[in-house]
Structure 1
Amino acid sequence: MSLSARRGTTIAPAAAPSESVLAQIGRFDHVTRLPNRLQFIERFESLAQPDRPSMLVLVTLAEAKHYNEILRALGMAFAEDFVRAGAGMLAALLPADAEIFHVSVLSFVTAIPVDDLAQAPALATVIAAAFAGALEVNAIPIKTKVGVGLLPVDVSQGGAESLRAALVAAQDSRRIDSGFTFYDHRSDAAHLRAFRILADLPAALAAADQLTLHYQPRIALQSGQCHAVEALLRWNHPELGPISPAEFVPLAEQTALITPLTDWVMSTALQQNRMFRDAGHDLRVSINASPVNLSEAGFDDVLLHRLEALGLEPEHVELEFTEGTLATNSQRTVQQLTRLRQAGVTVALDDFGSGFSNLSYLARIPADVLKIDQSFVRPLVDASHDDFLLRQIIAMANGLGFRVCAEGIETEYAYGHLRHLGVAEGQGFHMARPMPAGLLQDWLEAR
């Protein structure tokens, strides 16, 4: 029958399931039909055996990123088959009377009796070894990337908290050769701190006294003049105290918070550069951009609009990015960096040499400045230091037309040696430490 013939047809609604049926549906996982997280929490106390200690064994089949890759490449039906195959393998490894709870998309938990709560049960080794190989799903071998977490059953902790702790242990186990580990409160404390940092960051963005920018002068090594400053983010948490950007920025990059955070840095740095210029200081302010920012459509428009609104020229700002930025969304990133350069914004490749440096990128990336990572510079304390790699980086960068900046200059010898090697500019404690905007103005006026 055609669609046009069906238009006048009335379709009777299906009979609604009863409340009791709905309640039962909500107590079992729809993929494996195993009892779910709700049942685990309700029945948690009964998992503790009165005459023998019990151990929770939580198995998570894969990391979310790996599972999403399976889902994208092979489809939802195959991904569900993967989960069912994992549940089947786990069931085959457990005692016949062990009950498995399917507590999240990729995680299963069971409780087994043990003789010693301080010793990992032999079953943990068996499970980790079984999942170390590929799991065959519809004749396709799939790597599981399994994690096995262990936690003694303690009814006073409650089911929900015990489940969370066991999951932390399973996540930690992926970094351990054995493939399984006990819950570690120190590792958990780090997870909880990370969660709190992310939870408190929106309030910090809204507050007037938590986030600040400090500025580290960039010095032209031949003349000794300060022509630019790098804006460095600082967070003074009202309870946790100072939090390093090396801790909270990577966390923000994993969430949508990186966009308002970078927006705050950009807005504040440009406003303070307007203040510096009004006071007679001809400075270029360098702002660090996250790979996430540069992969977002419209980032270039926002920056250029902010400059225009404050009466600043594109030449008054520099944008720093790391090598890994190009791997996030290379085409859009390159397009935005190219447009900003064409508008007059200086673009700098930051921390060069700190990670995997893809040399083939260097001839193609839209950048003006190459900043040598401080790991190459800090060892320069005297003439005995082997500077072979440093010399090659400088020669290569100069040959490709980059202006070279050295980070981490901490000694007079390093300053003079880098100047001799043809480095155009640098920054480091030898010249000046990062300082708030007001102190920077005093520093500039005292020179």
Structure 2
Amino acid sequence: MNLPDQNELPSPVIERHRLYVLQESCLLDTPPDAALDRITQLAARLFKAPIALISLIDEQRQWFKARVGVEVAQTERKDAFCAHTILRHDVLVVPDATLDPRFKQNRLVLGEPNIRFYAGSPLRTRSGVPLGSLCVIDTKPRPEFDESQRDLLSQLAEMAMDRIEALRSIAFVDPPTRLLNRARFSDDVRAIFDERPIGQIAPSHAVLVNVVPLGYLDQTSISIGIVATDRLMAAISRRVEQALVDIKPVYRVDYARFAVFVYGDESAAMRVIDAVLRAFDAPLLVNQIPVDLSPTFGLVDLSRIDEPTDVLRALMSSSEIARRARVPFRKFAKRMFAAQERTFFILNTLPQALQDENQLSLAYQPRVDLRTGACVGVEALLRWSHPLLGEVSPAEFIPLAEKTSLMSALTDWVMDHALKQLATWERAGIILGISINVSVLNLEQRGFVPRYISLLRTHGIEPKRVELEVTESALTANAKLVTENLRKVADMGSIVAIDDFGTGYNNLSKLQLYSATVLKIDQSLVRRVLDNQYTRTLVEGVIALAQKLDYRVVAEGVETQEIYEAVAGWQCDEAQGYYIARPLAAPVFEAWYSTFSRNIIDSSVPRDSLDRDKLVT
């Protein structure tokens, strides 16, 4: 009886790797394969065995990729004879299971299928990882199973493994480019990490080549067609391969992203980056159209990565940061993960915040009429007090929400609560206008205007009391639905304001398309009007021209008395900023408004005589 050597028992690390390779092979729970079925049938006939199996050993089960003589597709691993076979490098033979201490109490011996004889040969990958076995089983003991029979069973197992490797290769190859794919990259990363304790020579770095973002290729498909885009992608792959001719293998891990491993120090990785950059100095020709591409790179020191599953994530993170920063490459740092995890956490907890009365709130920043000094309205500004993160800036979470379907729900929440507060103030005799920020993503929805009308009716607010703000930079594309929705808003009597004016690329004449009647000059310009002559001339000119075109002009970022007096002197209509008041919670605003209103001096008094100290909180 050939008992396995106890030294062959796998360590937890080796077993994790084995299971990973098995999962990545994409063989489990797949339809029958004709070639493996024939090998199993041949084994049953050659050995005159009622049962023959190609068995794959998963974490808790053995699953039969091919079978003869049994109806079930799997059994528990603890009962599997094949779970012992994978611990060996030779054939495991059990002449009589009832006499073998390992199996005599096995339920497959005591019950169906009443195993007495078992012979199994392990199925190992080319790198030596055991996935399962080819075995033959009889319900009667067989005292003899000679060397020639063992050799024959081993040969059949090799045939089965050749077919399995072919199936695995199909799963590991990217068909269009014939490069290894992401699954193979992940498999090889796992192998590299498993070999670390053994002291095997391993790559030091990994480099990701991010040739173009997916959005660029989508736009290319629209511009020159899908066939031409496929040709571009093929040309990109060839050029990357040519640049890295001395480095094998090259993996295609995403649509236009390629990865390689590098041996040596960081300078070797930098040579890879330089080689690819030089390769893309010349444009690619697609349909006789020159296409200039500027790849960005992610560089990862593998010794600084703890888990193999983090390697590709680190590569993509660093290359994406390089792309956004418009630099050739970024070296991975763990803080990149922290930023991504925070982003993920924010997006995943925002839906809960929308349902929690204690997290989201509105602050209201006053706007004053520069001719009368009266507070004529407020801007509703969203605030988020996160139970774990504390105060999360809207400058952080709103851009994230704009990339998801959450933006619509967030805007609806703001409009609902702002209009509710406006109605409360009106009942208390505080008659003001309110300004609400909306995203172009909201205005691209056909249901936006009906929802807005419904909220106005719910809270009994006249449309003229509400101003909807949209940023100038977001309107650079003249989307038909956006302009239609803004026109409908204006037609019903609400005000359309262009926020952050002066930071985008629109001219005043084009703003007619958006039905705007209010321009809010961006605070980054207003704050510098006294420090920079060019900015002063620009702001003064915008105010004068806008008023000639019948726009009402609001100066944002008025933070000092000098700036207040300057924009007032240029005949700006309204001002908003810390000099007047910071954004205030509703109860605080009410107290501020009461004090402010009492201190308003009759508009007939010269502006220079106003006691501004009494108007500032």
Give TM-score scaled by structure 1 length: 0.88
Determine helix, strand or coil for the equivalent of 2:498.
Answer: strand
In the alignment, is the contact (CA less than 8 A) between 1:151 and 1:166 conserved in 2? yes
1:308 equivalenced with 2:457 (yes/no):
yes
Cross-structure match for 1:149 = 298
Does the 8 A contact of 1:215 with 1:230 survive in 2?
A: yes
Label 1:135 to 1:262 Cα distance change in 2 as closer, same or farther (>3 A): same
Q: Report the counterpart of residue 8 of structure 1 in structure 2.
A: none
CA spacing shift, 1:132–1:207, aligned 2, 3 Å: farther
Q: Which amino acid aligns with 1:64?
A: L
Q: 2:366 touches 2:583 (CA, 8 Å); kept in 1?
A: yes
Tell me, yes or no, if structure 1 residue 206 matches structure 2 residue 351: no
Q: Distance in 1 between matches of 2:549 and 2:169?
A: 68
| Residue 212 (structure 2) pairs with residue 62 (structure 1) | yes
Which residue is equivalent to 1:299?
Answer: 448
- Residue 432 of structure 1 and its aligned partner are, at CA, apart by 1.3
Deviations 1:314-348 (A, max 9, x none): 11211111222333453222221111111110111
Q: Counterpart in 1 of 2:396?
A: 247
Within 2, Cα distance between the matches of 1:425 and 1:407?
9
Q: Note closer, same or farther for the CA distance 1:68–1:317 as it changes in structure 2 (3 Å cut).
A: same
Return the alpha-carbon distance in structure 2 between the equivalents of residues 140 and 364 of structure 1.
34
Corresponding position of 1:80: 230
Find the partner of 2:488 among 325, 329, 339: 339
Task: Tell me if the contact between 2:297 and 2:319 (Cα under 8 Å) persists in the aligned partners.
Answer: yes
Contact kept? 1:403, 1:424, Cα under 8 Å: yes
Mapping for residues 254-333 of structure 1, pairs under 5 Å = 254-333=403-482
Q: Judge which range, 150-159 or 100-109, deviates more.
A: 150-159
Match of 2:180 among 35, 43, 47: 35
Q: 1:169 to 1:379 in 2, by over 3 A?
A: closer
1:11 alignment partner in structure 2: none
- The CA distance in 1 between the partners of 2:326 and 2:383, in whole Å, is 37
Partners in 2 of 1:96 and 1:129 — Cα distance?
15
Alpha carbons of structure 1 residues 137 and 355: separation in structure 2 relative to 1, 3 Å: closer
Question: d(CA) in 1 for partners of 2:478 and 2:539?
Answer: 30
Instruction: Tell me whether 1:44 sits opposite 2:192 in the alignment.
Output: no
Amino acid aligned to 2:200: P
Q: Which residue, out of 388, 395, 416, partners 2:537?
A: 388
Letter paired with 1:260 = A
SS class of match (1:315): helix
Contact 2:262–2:269 under 8 Å retained in 1 = no
SS of residue paired to 1:204: helix
Tell which deviates more after alignment, 208-217 or 42-51: 42-51
Q: CA deviation at 1:63?
A: 0.8
**372-381 or 198-207, which moves further after superposition?**
372-381
Alignment of 1:12-27 (within 5 A): 24-27=169-172
Unaligned runs of 5+ in 2: 1-30, 35-64, 66-163, 194-198, 598-617
Alpha-carbon distance change, 225 to 121 in structure 1, aligned in 2, over 3 angstroms: closer
* Counterpart Cα distance in 1 of 2:323 and 2:287: 26
Distance in 2 between residues matched to 1:351 and 1:358, nearest whole Å: 13
User: Conserved in 1, the CA contact under 8 Å of 2:205 and 2:269?
Assistant: no
Partner AA of 2:218 in structure 1: N
The residue aligned with 1:360 is 509
Percent of residue pairs identical: 36
Instruction: Return the match for 2:315 from 166, 171, 176.
Output: 166
CA positional deviation for 1:62:
0.6
How far apart are the structure 1 equivalents of 2:325 and 2:460? Answer: 55
Matched, 1:107 2:261: no
Q: d(CA) in 2 for partners of 1:236 and 1:65?
A: 34
Measure the CA separation in 1 of the matches of 2:168 and 2:318.
31
| Secondary structure class of the residue paired with 1:349 | strand
Paired amino acid for 2:171 = G
Q: How many equivalent pairs are there?
A: 432
Instruction: Confirm whether residue 194 of structure 1 aligns to residue 343 of structure 2.
Output: yes
- My pick for the range that moved more, 132-141 or 421-430, is 132-141
Instruction: Provide the C-alpha distance between the structure 1 equivalents of 2:289 and 2:513, rounded to a whole number of angstroms.
Output: 39
Instruction: Say if 2:547 is the partner of 1:398.
Output: yes
Question: What amino acid maps onto 1:218 in structure 2?
Answer: R
Deviation, 1:127, is 0.9
Instruction: Show the counterpart of 1:4.
Output: none
Gapped regions of structure 1 (runs ≥ 5): 1-14
Alignment partner of 2:221 out of 71, 88, 100:
71
Cα 1:171–1:217 shift into 2, 3 Å: same
Does the C-alpha gap of structure 1 residues 384 and 148 become closer, same or farther in structure 2, counting only changes over 3 Å? closer
Amino acid in structure 2 at the alignment position of 1:158:
E
Does the C-alpha gap of structure 1 residues 178 and 401 become closer, same or farther in structure 2, counting only changes over 3 Å? closer
Q: What is the CA distance between 1:360 and its match in structure 2? A: 3.3
Give TM-score, length-normalised by structure 2. Answer: 0.65
CA distance in 1, matches of 2:387, 2:467: 31
Distance change (3 Å), C-alpha of 1:288 and 1:218: same
Conserved? CA contact 2:247–2:260, under 8 Å:
no
Instruction: Tell me which of 367, 386, 389 is aligned to 1:218.
Output: 367
Contact (CA 8 Å) 2:525, 2:535: kept in 1 or not?
no
Asked whether the 8 Å contact 2:476–2:504 carries over to 1, the reply is no
Structure 1, residues 84-140: CA drift from partner, whole Å, max 9, x if none? 3222222222245611222122211111212x2477431221112212432234654
Deviations 1:64-89 (A, max 9, x none): 21111122223333333333322222
- 409-418 or 54-63, which deviates more: 409-418
- Which range is displaced more, 224-233 or 296-305? 296-305
Aligned to 1:371: 520
Deviation digits for residues 266-299 of structure 1 (CA, Å, limit 9, x no counterpart): 1111111111111111111110111111122121
Report the Cα distance in structure 2 between the residues aligned to 1:138 and 1:331, rounded to whole angstroms.
31
| Distance in 2 (alpha carbons) for counterparts of 1:138 and 1:398 | 50
CA contact under 8 A between 1:128 and 1:178: conserved in structure 2? no
Aligned-pair CA distance for 1:242? 1.2
- In structure 2, the partner of 1:420 is 569
